[in-house]
Structure 1
Amino acid sequence: MNHLVLKTISGFLILIITMGLLLFIPAWTVRYLQAWLYLFTFAVSTILITLYLFKNDPELLKRRVKAGSTAEKEKAQKAIQAIANLFFCLIYIVAGLDFHFHWSRIPELISILANAFVFLGFYIVFLVFKENSYTSAIIEVNKDQKVISTEVYAVVRHPMYFGAILMLVFSSVALGSYWSLLCVLALIISIIARLLYEEKFLSENLSGYKEYCKKVKYHLIPYIW
């Protein structure tokens, strides 16, 4: 457990520091209020979810810290994850540049309020973790894994991706940047490619998943797709 604690804390610190550098270096200033508020929202949300997992589901936390393109087993997924990581970084780089060059004109109050939706996206992800202990960060099927079809999984097949997309879209607004939404769009495309592959993989390797897909028709967005 000590190794898990160390890996989780170090991973969190590296992520937050990296995000800060990606924002403040292109902005060429630390006087970027929207970035500070966003990083605070992101950090608090992550800490709250992590503390819950430490206490209630450490096995899921172990699976979540095993993430990234290098952890994937399939070449296609390695590529998709690498592309997703690139556009994730570009969201913050473009937002920083946007702040420096004043490309966008999002009212400061709107940016501040957007953090509530960032938090909402994280909350949806939390509901997924609470409901499904097999939510691995890579595409795999664990021993004794079962299909989850209750709560958020009764609405869409990939509620975690929905929460992540909600968080990402409003991240751009919270950072005061319309232009970084282009990077979010590219990231959403990579997420869709990943979920379609994941559905194919689970249909072939997880008993009952095909029946679940017939029951829950929407992939990502309720009543739309």
Structure 2
Amino acid sequence: MKLTLQAVSSFVLGLAFFGLVLFLPAGTFDYWQAWVFVAVFSVSTFVPSTYLAIRHPDALSRRMKAGPTAETRPAQRIIITAIFLLGIAVMVVSALDWRFGWSTVPVWLVIAGEVLVAAGLVGAQLVVIQNNYAGASITVEEGQPLVSTGLYGIVRHPMYTGSLIMMLGTPLALGSLWGLPVVLAAVPVLAARILDEEKALTTELAGYPEYTQRVRYRLIPGVW
């Protein structure tokens, strides 16, 4: 029951958050791209979270321990703060772009952006189903197994791949092109998180060095 209440509270706070970072900068509620984005985001997170709450409550609990205070590594506290602020900037800049008409995004590209947002979010949630220890903060628990199949057989950090896909789709879904450079600015920060996380996994998770030899790419197959 406590976990369910936390999940519902998180959902409600998320809606309030979107109201502040999307509709306030847009200066109006008459912003259909934002409404569709919020709906897609909500469904793409609420449905998998409900599944986790029923089938894997421990995994959902790990996912809800997020933010700088949940990190044990000092570098990660800085990195996750930067990622959070850049995520806000992506949405604020996109909403301002839509408000002042700095760029024009056709409807088909808005829809493509929504598809990317949904695919990225669902993919990230699928990672948690495949690896129940995939939390929102970087920790290695006692007895934690090494998962190397499924999405982990394609890249070493599939959750971040899903997050990147979602971030790339966000400006387009919100009817903006100027939000894309902000997303690109977040990529090096995400890379820094991955590299620091791998330092911890190499020393704390049994079999991880051998796994990196089998799965060569961290984030994007054939690229990095």
In the superposition, the TM-score normalised over structure 2's length comes to 0.97
Distance in 1 of aligned mates of 2:139 and 2:111: 38
Q: Is the 8 A contact 1:34 1:112 kept in 2?
A: no
Q: What stretches of structure 1 move > 4 A for 4+ residues in a row?
A: none
Distance in 2 of aligned mates of 1:53 and 1:15: 18
Deviation at 1:16, TM superposition (A): 2.1
Number of aligned positions between the proteins: 224
Distance in 2 of aligned mates of 1:30 and 1:7: 28
Matched residue type, 1:163: G
Deviation track 1:140-170 (CA, whole Å, cap 9, x = no partner) reads 1012101100011000000110011001101
Deviation at 1:109, TM superposition (A): 2.7
The corresponding residue for 1:186 is: 185
Distance in 2 of aligned mates of 1:66 and 1:212: 26
The corresponding residue for 1:74 is: 73
The corresponding residue for 2:94 is: 95
In the superposition, the TM-score normalised over structure 1's length comes to 0.97
The corresponding residue for 1:36 is: 35
The corresponding residue for 2:63 is: 64
Distance in 2 of aligned mates of 1:38 and 1:206: 37
Matches within 5 A, 1:190-201: 190-201=189-200
Distance in 2 of aligned mates of 1:147 and 1:113: 34
SS in 2 for 1:144: coil
Deviation at 1:15, TM superposition (A): 1.6
Q: Is the 8 A contact 2:45 2:122 kept in 1?
A: no
Q: Is the 8 A contact 2:112 2:172 kept in 1?
A: no
Matched residue type, 2:81: A
SS in 2 for 1:51: helix
Structure 1: give runs of 5+ residues left out of the alignment.
none
Q: What is the percentage of aligned positions where both structures have the same residue? A: 41
TM-align CA RMSD? 1.0
Distance in 2 of aligned mates of 1:127 and 1:175: 25
1:22 matched to 2:21? The reply is: yes
Deviation track 1:64-114 (CA, whole Å, cap 9, x = no partner) reads 111001111121111111111111111111111111110011112320232
